[in-house]
Amino acid sequence: MRPILSTHVAEPGLAVVDVIAADDQTAFAVQELLAGRWATAEADRTTREPGEPGVRLRLFLDIRQEAGA
């Protein structure tokens, strides 16, 4: 995964969320739950780290804005 930049968390209310799950379906379900609540820059694919279990997905949240606002 790419590094988290200071702009990703430059203000209160901005967050970077790394989801580690057993499979793609679970990771995307977690993303969907978060995106249903807050403004979210969603990921379109998961990654796998060699030698580590499961899949990873990174998304960016703005909890100052509710979804659809």
- Answer yes or no: is 56 within a domain: yes
pLDDT recorded at residue 2: 77
Residue showing tokens 């702009």: 7
Looking at residue 4, its pLDDT comes to: 78
Q: What is the pLDDT of residue 1?
A: 66
**Any domain includes 7:** no
Report the domain count for the chain.
1
pLDDT given at position 54: 96
Residues of the chain with pLDDT under 50: none
- Judged on CB neighbours under 10 Å (0-12, 13-18, 19+), 55 is buried
**Which residue range(s) make up the domain with 27?**
22-66
The pLDDT, as a whole number, for residue 38 is 92
> Does 35 fall in a domain?
yes
What count of Cα atoms within 13 Å lies in the side-chain half-sphere of residue 44? 0
Is the residue at 2 inside a domain?
no
Please say whether the beta carbons of 32 and 48 come within 8 A: no
